[in-house]
Amino acid sequence: MEFVKIKSDMFDELKRLQGAYKNEIGEELPTEKNFESLKKAMDREQIHFYGCICDKALVACCSICFTYSTFNYEKAGVFEDFYIRPEYRHKGIGKQLLEHAFHKAKEEGCKIVNIGIVEENKVLRKWYELNG
């Protein structure tokens, strides 16, 4: 198990995870135009994706978009796109990926990271609360 920042060379694997994630939460699947826009945002460092590699494949991902918060008048982040392939769930990957992403955000100067979540997902919301 290895936790990494997802870069251009892993974009095709990220696209597959994004498609599975959107399908699971009932949102429209991203179009090629959406993916082109996402890749540009990643290249401009507007959004950072982090992932977990197991068995030589990207099996989990999450993102942090950086912004500015008037709550504390400092750099902030928004955590989203949290997805783990079903066969890799309940193995501790989620907690470690969350910790990895938050650690990286802190290294980037974020003082606060807000979590974006689909309101109906009460199980994930409770998991976030249990994991700080």
Residue carrying the six token digits 């470690």: 96
- Lowest mean per-residue pLDDT among 7-11, 89-93, 122-126: 122-126
**Nearest CA among 132, 127, 114, 20 for reference residue 63:** 114
- So what's the pLDDT on residue 56? 92
Which pTM value belongs to this model?
Answer: 0.82
pLDDT reading at 43 higher than 80: yes
The β-bridge relationship of strands 57-69 and 74-84 is: antiparallel
Give yes or no for residue 126 having a pLDDT over 70: no
- Average pLDDT over every residue of 10-19: 93
Residue whose entry in the numeric block shows the structure tokens 């696209």: 15
What is the model's pLDDT at position 88?
A: 95
* Amino acid at the residue 62: C
